[in-house]
């Protein structure tokens, strides 16, 4: 996978995704991604983007101020 920002090689890894919904902060840990070795740009595959959207939607319903979710354990 090549970095969309600088074109350098991006390696497979894991990251923590943070979504700020204003009244709620959703933190998803252990998100599989590709990370650029040059500029640290994080790239998600389409599947991961979809799953992250689902996780954020579910967290929204919980109405917690801070939701910390493990990607691997999320449905
Ligand atoms: Zn890059």
Within-domain flag for 21? yes
Give the pLDDT of residue 16: 97
Would the pTM count as exceeding 0.75?
yes
- The CA 13 to ligand 1 mean position distance, Å, reads 14
Q: CA-to-CA distance for 69 and 27, rounded, in angstroms? A: 6
Within-domain flag for 1? no
Give the pLDDT of residue 62: 87
Within-domain flag for 68? yes
Within-domain flag for 34? yes
- The CA 9 to ligand 1 mean position distance, Å, reads 7
On whether the CB atoms of residues 7 and 33 are closer than 8 A, the answer is no
> Rounded mean pLDDT of 48-68?
93
Mean pLDDT across the chain: 94
Task: Please give the tally of structural domains in the chain.
Answer: 1
- The CA 7 to ligand 1 mean position distance, Å, reads 6
Residue 53 lies in domain:
10-73
Q: What is the pLDDT of residues 21-55, one digit of tens each?
A: 998 999 999 999 999 999 999 999 999 999 999 99
């Amino acid at each position: 996978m090549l970095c969309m920002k600088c074109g350098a090689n991006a390696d497979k890894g894991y990251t923590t995704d943070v979504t700020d919904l204003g009244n709620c902060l959703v933190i998803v840990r252990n998100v599989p991604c590709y990370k650029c070795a040059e500029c640290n740009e994080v790239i998600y595959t389409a599947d991961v983007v979809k799953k992250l959207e689902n996780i954020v939607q579910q967290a929204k319903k919980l109405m917690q101020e801070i939701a910390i979710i493990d990607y691997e354990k999320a449905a």
